[in-house]
Each structure stands twice: as structure tokens, then as C-alpha cells.
């Protein structure tokens, strides 16, 4: 470790040794121009500079409530009276290998009570006493389907358009296409409890410059971003000296490599790190919120406190211009009472598992919708709820359900979509999507349209090919647009 005194006494070591041995924290790697009062105006090379959309967009931000482990559509939002009537009977067309294990081929009715809610008369199970009050805001997509039938590859397919590792996720594409609304915070933030299976690949920037990578935060921790604050052993003057050196090295490096566009992204990440030293702790400080707000979200209730914290953080981040916030739901309870690190995964007992997950997520998610609406933010924010696939309508064992990528429900609420609207359908048993089938490429094309981006024009050249989020597919779901 170097012993810094004054700028005049600073010895300039070899560039590689300097970068390996300095340890003033992530935030201290900002360029000295920011500390010396130079202009912070965005340059044409700034990868986070605001860019005009292809067409006017209604959505500025997305909050994706990712129900890790895959909730059962026939126990949540897709009521099937026929399944209730035929409990224990043969399920016509059942494939015991649809999921990851083997199923019985016998119908398993939902163990939950169902009621219609709102002016739309939308059916909701009793898992969601709070969210059911908001059905007239929700646009239900009942005919989602994917190719993958296990958690990690399905999650990657849902967020990246295909399950091949190394491709950018939706949040990274959004930031690449539109730039950042707040130059002092990341445009793409992930909040997780336990890390979902597939973890970093689900929110990867892939081959896009790493400027577009998500900032992933463990929402159980009350600290701000890791390594953000300046090391207490060093003064502001010492940090200035270090940043002057980094500025010089970056300029020399860029001068001899004028064609390397990634250099601008790297320099920008240093700048963002410094600005975050002030902005991030304030944005993540929930003590700024009232006791009423804390109770509204459920921070005072142990069963949902972590998810409540995540949802309230999401609202604060959206308020401050973060474009994409993705919340991965935390631990659930298995049929034997054990803690399940894939929360909605209900192989042994759907009733015990889903009841636990409902308690964990229902009140905070409903509070998020109400809070966004009260603040006028739901007019520019789209909230999405759903898992990586659905569950089988026939049983696994006596009381569980296996994975099912052939038909499941996702709902959206907020900017640009019809409220109290139901699109697509599964069969009479909720087993497969049969009407207006939606692949993730169609969902992504529609989300990009709502943001003002034409999905066929949002491309990035990599290894001699123009890539896009929707690959060679994607149809706009025009019927759901408000």
C-alpha cells in the first residue's frame, strides 16, 4: 500500500502496480475533473447520456417484481373451475415430463379460495388480499410460454430473450437505448435476498459495455453500496492525488487507442462511482420515510419486512430517475417447513409453500402500486409481476406441482397498458397456453415500444453481427396498449 502525503510528494509507480495496490474504495476511482470543479456536462462519448427514443414512449421506468421459483398460475391469477371439479381425475394430454421431475397425470385442484374483484370482475385467489384490491390497474397476460423448464435457464430466457449465457438483459438494453435519467445513480438496479439460480446471468450486460451492467444489492443489508465510501485512512487531498493520476493514465491510454469505444464507458464508470458517493446513501436511506409509510409497506412485520424494504427502495429509486429496478423475491417455506431458497418452488406442497410466499410479497407489492399512484409515478412507471414459468395442473406427489413453461400468467400495471384487462388464455385446466400465445420476445417487443424503442432498431454489433433483445422474433401486443 502506498503512503500518500501531499500531491507534490506523490511518487508515480508503474500503472499496473498502482491500480493493483491502491485501495481507496470503489467511489474513489472517479476522475479528478469532477473533484476539481470542471464541467460535468455530458459529452457525445458519454455512454449514459440521454438519447432520444425512436418514438414517444409512455414509460420512463420499470419495476419488475420477479417471483423467484415460479408461482402456480392456477393458484394465483388464472382461475379454472374445471380443474376444481376434476380433482384426482386424469388430466387429458398430461405429459409427466413437462417439468423437471415426473408428475402423476392426475388433476390437482387449487387449495385456495377464489373471488372476483374490482369492476373488471377479475378472479384472484385468497393468497392476495391486498393485491386483489388493485386488479383494475392490472393487465393480465395469461398465455405466457417459454422454451426452458428449469429455473436458471428459464430466468435467463425471460430476461435476455434466449437462454444462451452472455447476452444482455432487458435492463441493460434499456439503458443502452435511452441513457440515464440520473447521472448520479445507476440506471439499472437489482435488489435480491438470496441470489436466484442463474444470478448474474439474469441481469448481465453481456457483450454490451459494462457501463450498462446492473448494480446488484442485497436488500437485507442496511449498509449502502459496498466499497462506495472513501477509505477513512485517506484524506480528500490524497484522493485528489490519486484521481489526478488516474486521469492522466486514462488520457494517455485513450490517446493511443482512438477506436476503442469501451474506454469512454470505463471512464464514465469512474465518474459515476464518485457521484454515487453522495447520491446512493441518500436514495437507500429508508429512515427518511415516515412511520406510516413503513407500516403501509409492512416493514414492521417479520414475514414480509425484507420484501417491503425492497419495494420501498424501488419507489425511492424510481423517484430519482432509475430506469429499471428488478426485485427478486426472497426465501419461502417448503412443504416440510424448511426454508426454500427458490421461494415459489412448490414441488411437495403448493398450499404451504404458496401461503408463505403470499404473506411475504402481497402487502409490499400492493403498497408499491398504491404509493406510486398516490405520487403520480404510476403514470410513467410500469410494474410487472411474475415468475420464470408456471406450474403443472397435475400433481407432483400428493400435493405439489412441477415446473411448467407451457402456460403461465404475468401481470403489468401502470403506464401504457390497459387496466382490468385479460389477454390470452390457457386451456380449461390451466395446463397450456392455447389462445394468443405470448413468447418472451413478444413481451420484450411490447415493453421496448412502451419505452419508445423500436425493437428491430435497437441493435448492437458484436462479433460481426447485429444483435437485438428480441433476436429474430417479437410481435407487438397491440391489444394491451392503453
What pLDDT digit, counting tens, does each position of 353-409 carry?
999 999 999 999 999 999 999 999 999 999 999 999 999 999 999 999 999 999 999
What pLDDT digit, counting tens, does each position of 62-83 carry?
999 999 999 999 999 999 999 9
pLDDT band at 34, cuts 50/70/90? very low
Per-residue pLDDT at 334 exceeds 60: no
pLDDT band at 206, cuts 50/70/90? very high
pLDDT band at 37, cuts 50/70/90? very low
Within 13 Å, how many C-alpha atoms sit on residue 185's CB side? Answer: 25
pLDDT of amino acid 45: 61
* CA–CA gap between residue 386 and residue 382 (Å, rounded): 13
pLDDT of amino acid 474: 96
Q: Which of 191-205, 223-237, 432-446 shows the highest mean pLDDT?
A: 432-446
Per-residue pLDDT at 25 exceeds 80: no
pLDDT of amino acid 221: 66
Cβ atoms of 407 and 426 within 8 Å: the answer is: yes
58: left (phi over 0), alpha (psi -120 to 50) or beta: alpha
**Mean pLDDT over all residues of the chain?**
86
Q: What is the mean pLDDT of residues 154-161?
A: 96
Per-residue pLDDT at 430 exceeds 80: yes
Q: What is the mean pLDDT of residues 206-222?
A: 85
Mapped onto helix, strand or coil, the DSSP state of residue 61 is strand
What pLDDT digit, counting tens, does each position of 168-195 carry?
999 999 999 999 998 888 999 999 987 8
Please name which of 228, 260, 267, 263 lies closest in space to residue 246, comparing C-alpha atoms: 267
Cβ atoms of 293 and 315 within 8 Å: the answer is: no
Q: What is the mean pLDDT of residues 26-51?
A: 50
pLDDT of amino acid 130: 98
Range in 256-265, 289-298, 389-398, 467-476 the model is least confident about:
256-265
460 strand-pairing partners:
467
pLDDT of amino acid 238: 78
Question: What pTM was computed for the model?
Answer: 0.86
Per-residue pLDDT at 42 exceeds 80: no
pLDDT band at 12, cuts 50/70/90? very low
Domain boundaries of the chain, sorted by first residue: 59-224+290-480
What pLDDT digit, counting tens, does each position of 266-321 carry?
666 666 776 777 777 788 889 999 999 999 999 999 999 999 999 999 999 999 99
Mapped onto helix, strand or coil, the DSSP state of residue 251 is helix
Per-residue pLDDT at 50 exceeds 60: yes
> Which grid cell sits at 51?
438519447
What is the dihedral angle through the alpha carbons of 92, 435, 400, 311, rounded to the nearest 10 degrees?
Answer: 180
Q: What is the mean pLDDT of residues 344-356?
A: 96
Fold annotation for 59-224+290-480: Alkaline Phosphatase, subunit A (3.40.720)
Quote the percentage of the chain above a pLDDT of 90.
68
pLDDT of amino acid 16: 47
Per-residue pLDDT at 208 exceeds 80: yes
Per-residue pLDDT at 7 exceeds 90: no
Per-residue pLDDT at 261 exceeds 90: no
Q: What is the mean pLDDT of residues 245-263?
A: 75
Residue with the bigger pLDDT between 58 and 33: it is 58
User: Which residues lie closer than 8 Å to 299 by C-beta, 6 or more apart?
Assistant: 286, 305, 308, 309, 312
pLDDT of amino acid 24: 44
Provide the 8-state DSSP code for 389.
S
Range in 127-141, 319-333, 343-357 the model is least confident about:
319-333
For residues 51-85, one letter each, b for 16 or more C-beta atoms within 10 angstroms of the residue's C-beta and e for the rest, the string is eeebeebbbbbbbbbbbbbbbbbbbbbbbbeebee
Amino acid at each position: 500500500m502506498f503512503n500518500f502525503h501531499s500531491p507534490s510528494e506523490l511518487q508515480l509507480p508503474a500503472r499496473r502496480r498502482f491500480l493493483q495496490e491502491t485501495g481507496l474504495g470503489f467511489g474513489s476511482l472517479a476522475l479528478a475533473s469532477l473533484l476539481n470543479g470542471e464541467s460535468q456536462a455530458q459529452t457525445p462519448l458519454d455512454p449514459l447520456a440521454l438519447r432520444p427514443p425512436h418514438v414517444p414512449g409512455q414509460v420512463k421506468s420499470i419495476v419488475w417484481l420477479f417471483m423467484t421459483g415460479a408461482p402456480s398460475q392456477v393458484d394465483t391469477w388464472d382461475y379454472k373451475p374445471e380443474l376444481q371439479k376434476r380433482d384426482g381425475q386424469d388430466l387429458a394430454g398430461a405429459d409427466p415430463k413437462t417439468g423437471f421431475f415426473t408428475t402423476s397425470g392426475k388433476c390437482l385442484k387449487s387449495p385456495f379460495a377464489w373471488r372476483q374483484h374490482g369492476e373488471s370482475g377479475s378472479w384472484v385467489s385468497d393468497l392476495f388480499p391486498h393485491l386483489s384490491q388493485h386488479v383494475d390497474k392490472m393487465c393480465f397476460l395469461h398465455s405466457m410460454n417459454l422454451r426452458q423448464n428449469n429455473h436458471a435457464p428459464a430466468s435467463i430466457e425471460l430476461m435476455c430473450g434466449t437462454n444462451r449465457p452472455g447476452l444482455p438483459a432487458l435492463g441493460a438494453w434499456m439503458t443502452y437505448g435511452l441513457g440515464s435519467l440520473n447521472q448520479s445513480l445507476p440506471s439499472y438496479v437489482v435488489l435480491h435476498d438470496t441470489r436466484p439460480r442463474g444470478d448474474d446471468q439474469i441481469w448481465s450486460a453481456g457483450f454490451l459495455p459494462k457501463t450498462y451492467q446492473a448494480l446488484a444489492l442485497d436488500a437485507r443489508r442496511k449498509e449502502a453500496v459496498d466499497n462506495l465510501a472513501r477509505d477513512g485512512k485517506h484524506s480528500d487531498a490524497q484522493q485528489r492525488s490519486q484521481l489526478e493520476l488516474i486521469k492522466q493514465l486514462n488520457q494517455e491510454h485513450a490517446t493511443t487507442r482512438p477506436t476503442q469505444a469501451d474506454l469512454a464507458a470505463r471512464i464514465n464508470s469512474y465518474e459515476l462511482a464518485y457521484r454515487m458517493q453522495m447520491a446512493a446513501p441518500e436514495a437507500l436511506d429508508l429512515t427518511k420515510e415516515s412511520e406510516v409509510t413503513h407500516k403501509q409497506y409492512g416493514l414492521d412485520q417479520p414475514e414480509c419486512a425484507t420484501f417491503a424494504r425492497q419495494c420501498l427502495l424501488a419507489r425511492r429509486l424510481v423517484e430519482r430517475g432509475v430506469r429499471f429496478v428488478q426485485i427478486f423475491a426472497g426465501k419461502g417455506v417448503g412443504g416440510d417447513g424448511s426454508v426454500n431458497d427458490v421461494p415459489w418452488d412448490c414441488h411437495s406442497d403448493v398450499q404451504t409453500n404458496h401461503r408463505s410466499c403470499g404473506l411475504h410479497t402481497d402487502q409490499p407489492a400492493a403498497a408499491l402500486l398504491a404509493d406510486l399512484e398516490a405520487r403520480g409515478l404510476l403514470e410513467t412507471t410500469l410494474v410487472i409481476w411474475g415468475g420464470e414459468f408456471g406450474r403443472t395442473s397435475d400433481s407432483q406427489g400428493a400435493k405439489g406441482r412441477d415446473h411448467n413453461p407451457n402456460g403461465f400468467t404475468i401481470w403489468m400495471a401502470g403506464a401504457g397498458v390497459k387496466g382490468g384487462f385479460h389477454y390470452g388464455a390457457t386451456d380449461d385446466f390451466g395446463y397450456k397456453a392455447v389462445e394468443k400465445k405470448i413468447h418472451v420476445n413478444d413481451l420484450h417487443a411490447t415493453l421496448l415500444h412502451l419505452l419508445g424503442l423500436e425493437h428491430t432498431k435497437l441493435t448492437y454489433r458484436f462479433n460481426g453481427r447485429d444483435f437485438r433483445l428480441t433476436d429474430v422474433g417479437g410481435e407487438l401486443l397491440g391489444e394491451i396498449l392503453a
